[in-house]
Amino acid sequence: MSAPMTPDSVRTDALQPGDQLRHPHDWTLFTVSVAAEWLDDLGSPLDFHNRETDEFERGMRVTGTDASGETVHVDTAPSYLWHREGQQKTARDELATAVAEHGPFPMPTGEPQPVGLTEEQAEALINAGNGALSDYYHERQCHCSNYPAGCVTNPGYRRAAGFWDTDAFAIGLPAVLGVWESLRNDRHAAKIAELRADNKQLRARVAELEAQRDRRRARLVALQNDALSMRGSLSPNGEASKVPFELGPTLTPAVDWLINRVAELEALTPAPIQTCRSCGAGFEYGKPCSVCEFKARIAAEIAKAQAEDPHDSPLHRTCETGHDLPEVGGYHSAPLPAAAALCATCGHNGAAHHHAGTACWENLPREQHPAKTWDPIRLCPCSVFVEVTR
């Protein structure tokens, strides 16, 4: 009688590919890759003594791979009980789990196209299908310990003999796989659409970030150029620095010093009398320079007088010298000084010495009185023009 099996233990001759076992010697976890094989078929016959039955059993070899991918071989008796940690899920298990979680998959519209298989792929799939079919039928009809290498009930039941082989797998597998691929595609269609939308958004975000990078790079270049220009202004070549210290990697200390300096200057109380930077004369703070205003007025009047040709005026008459004409009614004739000549008394030029009471004023700046009479404009308080001699 064979030993009973528990969920954590399984006989050697009942192991299936995908079973995860503990090595009987070092307890290393490995996964069975193929069903147990008889050592006689492998050319290495070896018998093991069964202490419970006091009989000898032909040995079997269990082959698998450990976590590092190394191949593991263990030779033992068919009745040896293995500690099974678990079993890797097959495609059928995964399909059942997916159906339980998500419900039946919708059938695809249209006729699924068969999957094209190479000769090696088709042979491997057909052999797997026939092997699973043989295991299924043998387990229900015999379940002896010699299977799959042999069978005590019927030698023809041996898996290698192909007793239960069928052509159904060769005929139907391409179409079945075509339906399976179509179901998988429908199952993942929504996820694929979601991933594509995410990919589109990510590409748009990447383009946005690249444009932002280009803008910031252009701004950085502009700021660097401004900083170089500012350094040139603060510390020109061949000139003294505008700040009382050397410029460092940053211009912040120089800017802070200039801000403080401006604040200090604004806090100072200006003198009541300022020196004009144009003419050097003194003027009252907060008011325009009277000397500059006077010079501007004189220049405007001279330009106006030069624009008019005095000889074309109907009032023109030739001025005589003082000794040629007698004084009449308080007016007298006197020669006009040259406009560019300077007076030794007041420092004004000859154009400023136009005094009321002189007889020759037709071509001089003049003003009209309320009584409709005219007089030259008195531009200089000096009564006598004494030309500076050189």
Residue 47's CATH number:
2.30.30.30
Contact 163, 157 (CB under 8 A): yes
Same domain, 66 and 113: no
What is the pLDDT at residue 93?
59
Q: How many CB atoms lie within 10 A of CB 327?
A: 10
* Assigned domain for 348 exists: yes
What is the pLDDT at residue 136?
78
Task: Give the residue ranges of the chain where pLDDT is below 70.
Answer: 1-8, 87-113, 140-144, 146-161, 185-188, 305-336, 351-367, 369, 371-381, 383, 390
Residue given tokens 């010699």 in the structure block: 146
What is the pLDDT at residue 206?
94
Look up the pTM and report it.
0.27
Same domain, 123 and 198: yes
What is the pLDDT at residue 214?
94
What is the pLDDT at residue 360?
46
Q: Exposed, middle or buried: residue 196 (CB in 10 Å: 0-12, 13-18, 19+)?
A: exposed
What is the pLDDT at residue 361?
45
Cα–Cα dist 375/355, whole Å: 9
Cα–Cα dist 84/41, whole Å: 26
Q: How many CB atoms lie within 10 A of CB 167?
A: 9
Same domain, 220 and 303: no
* Assigned domain for 265 exists: no
Same domain, 363 and 330: yes
Same domain, 389 and 342: yes
Q: CA nearest 173: which of 230, 226, 112, 129?
A: 129
What is the pLDDT at residue 218?
93
What is the pLDDT at residue 58?
87
What is the pLDDT at residue 99?
62
Of 208, 232, 256, which residue is a domain's last? 232
Which residues are within 8 A (CB) of 146 and not within 5 positions of it... i.e. 6 or more apart?
A: 13, 38, 78, 152
Coil, helix or strand at residue 77:
coil
What is the pLDDT at residue 219?
93
What is the pLDDT at residue 203?
92
Long-range CB pairs of 367-374, under 8 A, 24+ apart, other chains included: none
- Going through the chain in order, the beta strands assigned E by DSSP cover 9-11, 19-22, 29-38, 47-50, 55-58, 60-66, 71-76, 81-87, 273-275, 282-284, 366-368, 374-376
* Domain containing residue 27: 9-87
